[in-house]
Each structure stands twice: as structure tokens, then as C-alpha cells.
Amino acid sequence: MTMWKQALMVAAAGVMGGQAMATPADGQWRGVAGAALSTTSGNSSTQNLLLNVDMARLTEQDKLSTTGYVNEGKSTVNGEKVTTAGKWGLAGQYDYNLTPQWFSFGKLGFEHDRVTDMSLRTLLGAGVGYHWVQTKQDTFDVYGGLSEVITRYGHDKTIGDDTKKQFSTMGLLLGEASSHQLTDTVSLNQRLELYPGLTGSKSNLAKFNVGLSVAMSSTLSLNVGLIESYNSKPGAGVRKTDAAFFTGINLKLGQ
């Protein structure tokens, strides 16, 4: 498994952890905790561990959600050990219903990646959204607003014409997300987000995620998914587009 595939697995864990069936609006915290461990052996050996938590509290008026993850990976080739993943992330979002269809939101996220020398990335976003579909089996939201991304590296990085440790971009946030309960035990989730940069480094980001969850019991589920991301200015030696397939096991939290 390559380094960029392991990194993308982490991002997918937080996005794909939810259930498609409508969450009761009773103010109780509910969510999932997930774990994935992969190993290979032979001419080369790899080990990758992913832990994630996805929680949400929903009422008739608002919703508060949080996600977090830790990803560690190592590879050994010809006796030489290489760290292929060393990431953690924490994010939160607050949604407030303005009407039964319209809502406002604010989000804050933090990321760290020692493999790419990223000390800390801070993401702030705020805007409004619209609930196009809200049923027990299906949901579909569209949303948009403003965003700011601040990325700090441990050493100088060259992005575009600038060489420095910290880069910031203010721009737009455009997105859509849907969830579908296909059967009593199978659900599908997908999300697309665009971050067009307008100031600073003016980097353009895009993220697409799709995942299928199969319940194995009342508390355990198997998740299979795909995530693809794009960064117009990733820095020297880093690809603009990445895609990966992942699997994992989730434990349901809350009643």
C-alpha cells in the first residue's frame, strides 16, 4: 500500500462513518468508532493502523458534529523502514436551522501530517445550506459559503512562486452531500466539496467521497468506499490528484 493511499484512508474515515437512516432529534450524542489494520509481507512489508471517531448531537433546531482520526503506517523494503503515514485530524461543525429547509453552518478543523512536513493546517468555513430531501431513507443537502485555509510546514515549502513555511488562502466553499438507506442493512453516503481559492496562494481544492456500509449486527458494520481529492498547488514532489479504495469496521455508539 502506498503512502498517499494510506493518507486518503484517513480522510475517508471521518466522512463515511455515518448512517443514512435519520438520526433522532432528541439531543443525545450518537455516532461510530472505527478501526482498520492492514499488513502485507514478502519482498516488502507494510503495516497501517487507522482509528477514527464520528459523533453528532441533533435537535429540532440545530446539529453539532465532531470527527477525529489517527493514522500510523510503516513500510519495510530490503530491511529499510520508512514511515508512510503519520497523521491526525480533528474537526467540528455546527448547523442551525433557519427554516425547515434552510440552515446556516460554521466549521473548524485541524490536521497534522509529519510525512509531508505539515505541522498544522487550520480550516475555517461558514455559510448557508438547503435541505433538498429529508426522509427516513434519503437526505440530500447543498451548501455554500466562505472559507479560509491556513497551512504551516516545519520547513520552507515552494508553492507557486512563494517559498515559505506558512500559506493561507481565503475563498469559497461549495458542496453537496447525500445519504441513502438502500435496505435495512445497507446504506450509501456521498459528498462533494469544492474550495476555490480567491486570495493568498489561490489554491483550488476538491474532495469527493462515496461509501457503502453493511450492517453485520446491531452495533457493528463493514464500510467500503472510495475517496478522490485534488489540489491545484500541492507543492514540489506531491501529486495534484489522489484516489484510494478503503475498507474498515465501525462500532455504533449511543442508543
Structure confidence by residue, pLDDT tens digits, 169-215: 999 999 999 999 999 999 998 989 898 999 988 888 888 888 888 99
For the chain, give every domain's residue range: 3-253
Residue type (1 letter), 128: V
For the cut 90, the answer to whether the pLDDT of residue 85 exceeds it is no
* 70-109 burial: b if 16+ Cβ within 10 Å, else e: bbbbbbeeeeeeeebbbbbbbbebebebeeeeebbbebeb
Residues listed for the chain: 255
Quick one: pLDDT at residue 145?
98
**Residue 128 burial (CB count, 10 A):** 14
- Provide, for the chain, the percentages of residues in helix, strand and coil under a 3-state DSSP scheme, each rounded to the nearest 5: 5, 70, 25
Calpha distance 214→181 (Å, rounded): 10
**Residue 50 burial (CB count, 10 A):** 23
Calpha distance 104→145 (Å, rounded): 9
Give yes or no for a contact between 55 and 31, defined as CB atoms under 8 angstroms apart: yes
For the cut 50, the answer to whether the pLDDT of residue 6 exceeds it is no
Average pLDDT for residues 150-167, to the nearest whole number? Answer: 86
For the cut 70, the answer to whether the pLDDT of residue 245 exceeds it is no
Quick one: pLDDT at residue 16?
40
Grid coordinates representing 39?
499488513
Q: What percent of the chain has pLDDT over 70?
A: 86
Quick one: pLDDT at residue 227?
66
Nearest Cα neighbor of 194 from 212, 172, 178 is 172
For the cut 60, the answer to whether the pLDDT of residue 15 exceeds it is no
Quick one: pLDDT at residue 62?
95
Quick one: pLDDT at residue 43?
64
pLDDT in tens, 106-137: 999 898 988 778 899 898 999 999 999 999 89
Q: What percent of the chain has pLDDT over 90?
A: 39
Quick one: pLDDT at residue 248?
85
The residue to which cell 446504506 is assigned: 187
Query: Strand, coil or helix: what is 16?
Result: helix
Residues 6 or more apart whose Cβ sits within 8 Å of residue 56: 18, 23, 29, 30, 31, 63, 64, 65, 66
Quick one: pLDDT at residue 170?
95
Grid coordinates representing 41?
509481507
Residue type (1 letter), 223: N
Calpha distance 86→255 (Å, rounded): 33
Average pLDDT for residues 1-26, to the nearest whole number? Answer: 48
Give yes or no for a contact between 95 and 107, defined as CB atoms under 8 angstroms apart: no
Please report which confidence band the pLDDT of residue 105 belongs to, taking 50, 70 and 90 as the band edges: very high
Give yes or no for a contact between 167 and 158, defined as CB atoms under 8 angstroms apart: no
pLDDT in tens, 39-71: 766 666 788 788 888 899 999 999 999 988 888
Task: Tell me, rounded to whole angstroms, the distance of Cα 189 from its chain centroid.
Answer: 13
Average pLDDT for residues 146-175, to the nearest whole number? Answer: 89
Give yes or no for a contact between 166 and 150, defined as CB atoms under 8 angstroms apart: yes
Domain 3-253 class in CATH: mainly beta
Of 17-21, 149-153, 195-199, least confident by mean pLDDT is 17-21
For the cut 70, the answer to whether the pLDDT of residue 222 exceeds it is yes
Average pLDDT along the chain: 83
Quick one: pLDDT at residue 4?
36
Calpha distance 20→200 (Å, rounded): 38
For the cut 70, the answer to whether the pLDDT of residue 153 exceeds it is yes
